[in-house]
Each structure stands twice: as structure tokens, then as C-alpha cells.
Structure 1
């Protein structure tokens, strides 16, 4: 299966969520409950469990870490700079800015395993562990500021940020769980991806991007063209070995996170707009990822 086709199951799950919500008895109120389940339990457990089990070894991968964090910071800066352009709708920007810098870690890990085996997975997990806190803090800050929420309070109680920091602390302490507990956490985390993608589809409004097409095009351009180019340049500047270069560029070219829709919906943003952006980003990733990997 090609790298592009690896994204097809994720898009099919989004399509299934859309069809279930529109044409069956599983209507919107059910999916609102599913969104809360994903946001407060499934995604946090997945993040915590993934980070705890990952041998980070940052001292051996400083160049790779620098490339990944550099890509993330560039994405955040470019996304927030768009909010200063005249005529940009503040609510749409607050909701959609995260699209430009957040990434789908599940797809990233799947493709990293295909490209680099267990070593590729370990390198990608390091980038995820370093960049998830930055991405989540930036996304929450944008939504909290626009929605009139107390920023520090939202950061302190955000389940995605809490679970990431807890995972890093547990990893540093060498924490391990009994087999029964580890298996339970694993099974809870596995449910996050399919339910989260189904919730994205259930919240999809086909006309969502009509509210801000220019903003949508720019955010998606940053995510799928600008950041991979920056990632490629950083790998050359840092003289990364070929194997790490593939992982760094793959990370930079990821489609946006499916949880972006859940975060926007839960914090009073424009959920349908973000859901449409997530769907388009997943489609674009099927095309752009093979292209960027071929350029390497």
C-alpha cells in the first residue's frame, strides 16, 4: 500500500461519521456525547500511554528534536500572524489557526513505522512528545483568548495538556504499570482514533469552508506546503542523517490533528469550519506526503 493510501481509512471513518449522523438514528446529540468522551478520556489516555511507553533519549537526537520543534514554532508564528491581516474573521481564525500547526500523531506513527521500523517509531514519538505540549498550549490560547476564557485556567485544566505533561513526568520517572493496567490503558487509547474521526464526520457541514475560503486556503497552505519546506530546509541545515531526515519531513508534512475539531467544539469555536478543514487536510495529506517523501 502506498503512503498516500494509508490515509484512506481515516478519511473513510470521517465519511462514515457524516453518513451516520445525517441518515440514521445516531443523530447530533449522540455525537456531542461522543465528542466529550473523546476529549476528556480517550485522547488524554492515548497521549499519556504513548508518551509513557516511548524511549525518548533526547540526547541522541538533538538535531531531529531541533528540526521538529523548529517546524512547530514556525507553524504557530505563521498561523497567529494571519490574525493580524485586515478582514480576517476573529472567531474563524481562533478556531482554525490550530489547523496550520497541529498534526495527526496516529497517522505519523503509522507512516514512521512503515518508513523506519521500530527506530522510526521511536524518533517520531520523540517529536510528538516534544511538540504536542507546544501545539496544545497554542491552540488553547487562541480559543481561550477569543472566547473570553481565563487563559491560565484553561491551560491548567485542559485534559490534553495535563495528560501530555503527566506522560512526560511518568516517562522521566521510569514509571511502569502492572500488565492489567497497561492493557486497559492501551485499549482505551485505541478507541480514541476511530471515535474521534467519526465525531469529525458527524460535525461536518459541507458548506463550512464558505465562511472563510481565503483563510482556509492559507491555513492549509501553511500546513501542507510551507511547513514541509521549512522542515526539509532544517534537515539540510542541521545535516541530519537520511533516516532522520525522512522522519522530520514526514512529521512536517502531516495532515492536521482530528482532535482539532473536538477542541474547537468544546471551547466555543466554529466546529463545522474546523471539521471541514480537518477533512480537506486529510485529503491533501494523501497527495502531499508521497510528494515530499519523493523529493527527499
Structure 2
């Protein structure tokens, strides 16, 4: 279990090394980021719909378009070539994160980085554990909630930050550290679960 995120971290490391020590340097990865950006948001764009006032005579049409958009979005994974595109987007996103990472980027705002990682990998897990007690979730539901609370930050956060003009190098460093911490936080969360007496 501690190594479950090792493939993700390996892709980040590969992207970092390839960008700095091969001819596939920064300009190449800028194009990769654009490619990943548009693929990541393709399915979301399919389901975009404009809001209509309640009771408007176009309400039925709007509802039909909304349902159609949802159906189209769910159908995207079944389009020819898209199982492969999703996997490629994930891998390329992780490699692009490594390519965009600068080791000293977290020095720009150390306290913010520590706070964000603490929230993501400690406080969210504790909150999830408290919610399982509050709502009396069964073991399967508890396991799912704790697993999701301990997952690392997605590489899409870096792609978004880089494409929208924010501090991509800082976000890349956060994603990398979050991936490393995920190797600890997920087993820890599940260990807490296993230590609880069965209901």
C-alpha cells in the first residue's frame, strides 16, 4: 500500500529529468500542458449548459439539452480511442508536473505550502473519520471516505495553474510533495480504520 502512488511519483520524476537533461526541454512541455489541458476539460465542456429562469417557456428545452449533455459526457469514455486518451492525459499530466517543478519554488510561501499539505493529508482525514462517526457509516462506506480523504493532489491542478498564468512551479512542487505524502497518509488512514473495533 505505501507504494501505491510510486508509479505517479515516478512519472513526475521522469518529467523532471527529461525536461532538464534532454533536448525535450521547457518549450516542449509547454505544448504538452496545452494538450493535457484541453483533453482534461473536453468532457466537462460537453456538458456545459446555460441557465434558464424557472417557468420560462424554454425550460423543457433547456432540461432536455442538459440531460443530453450529461448523456454525451458519460458516453465520451466509450468513443473510439478515448480509454487510451484518458490514460495518456493522466500520464502526461504527471510528467508535465515534473517538468514544471522547481525545487526551490516552495520557498516563495513556505507557510502556505505547509498549511495546504497539512489540511490535505491530516485534517481532511481527521474530518472524514469524524464524519464516519457522526453519520454512522458502515465499514465499506468508511473505507471509501477515508481513502478519498487521503489521496494526493491531482496533477490537473498544476496544468490548470500553468495554463491560467499562476505560479505553476509552486503548484508542481505541492503536487509532488502531496504524492509523496500520499504514500504515508493513505496507509495511515486505512490503519486507523483497521484498528477500530468492528461494528
Query: TM bucket by the smaller chain?
Result: 0.7 to 0.9
Corresponding residue for residue 272 of structure 1: 169
What is the DSSP-based 3-state SS (H/G/I as helix, E as strand, rest coil) of the residue aligned with 1:6?
Answer: coil
Give the direction of change, closer, same or farther, for the CA distance of 1:178–1:223 in structure 2 (3 Å limit). closer
- The superposition leaves residues 109-129 of structure 1 with CA deviations (integer Å, 9 ceiling, x where unpaired) of xxxxxxxxxxxxxxxxxxxxx
For the 8 Å contact 1:17–1:202, the answer to whether it is kept is yes
Following TM superposition, by how much is the alpha carbon of 1:194 offset from its aligned partner in structure 2, in angstroms? 0.7
Taking the TM superposition and a 5 Å limit, the aligned residue runs for 1:189-200 are 189-200=86-97
Corresponding residue for residue 30 of structure 1: 28
Corresponding residue for residue 126 of structure 1: none
Corresponding residue for residue 54 of structure 2: none
| Cα separation, 1, equivalents of 2:4 and 2:148 | 15
- The superposition leaves residues 134-171 of structure 1 with CA deviations (integer Å, 9 ceiling, x where unpaired) of xxxxxxxxxxxxxxxxxxxxxxxxxxx535668x9458
| Cα separation, 2, equivalents of 1:257 and 1:37 | 17
For the 8 Å contact 2:19–2:26, the answer to whether it is kept is yes
Give the direction of change, closer, same or farther, for the CA distance of 1:273–1:177 in structure 2 (3 Å limit). closer
For the 8 Å contact 2:46–2:73, the answer to whether it is kept is no
Corresponding residue for residue 217 of structure 1: 114
Which of 150, 161, 179 pairs up with 1:253?
150
Give the direction of change, closer, same or farther, for the CA distance of 1:171–1:186 in structure 2 (3 Å limit). farther
Which of 35, 41, 64 pairs up with 1:44?
41
Gaps in structure 1 of 5+ consecutive residues: 49-160
| Cα separation, 2, equivalents of 1:258 and 1:178 | 21
| Cα separation, 1, equivalents of 2:79 and 2:156 | 23
Q: Over aligned residues, Cα RMSD in angstroms? A: 2.4
TM-score by length of 1: 0.56
Give the direction of change, closer, same or farther, for the CA distance of 1:171–1:250 in structure 2 (3 Å limit). farther
Structure 1 segments, 4+ long, off by >4 Å, are 163-166, 168-179
| Cα separation, 2, equivalents of 1:162 and 1:177 | 13
Which of 153, 162, 165 pairs up with 2:45?
162
| Cα separation, 1, equivalents of 2:141 and 2:69 | 22
Corresponding residue for residue 6 of structure 1: 4
- The superposition leaves residues 203-246 of structure 1 with CA deviations (integer Å, 9 ceiling, x where unpaired) of 01010111111110001000000011101111111111101110
Give the direction of change, closer, same or farther, for the CA distance of 1:173–1:289 in structure 2 (3 Å limit). same
For the 8 Å contact 1:224–1:288, the answer to whether it is kept is yes
| Cα separation, 1, equivalents of 2:93 and 2:70 | 29
Following TM superposition, by how much is the alpha carbon of 1:176 offset from its aligned partner in structure 2, in angstroms? 7.4
Which structure has more relative contact order (CA 8 Å, sep 6+)? It is 1
Give the direction of change, closer, same or farther, for the CA distance of 1:231–1:192 in structure 2 (3 Å limit). same
Following TM superposition, by how much is the alpha carbon of 1:173 offset from its aligned partner in structure 2, in angstroms? 4.5
What is the DSSP-based 3-state SS (H/G/I as helix, E as strand, rest coil) of the residue aligned with 2:3?
Answer: helix
Gaps in structure 2 of 5+ consecutive residues: 50-65, 194-199
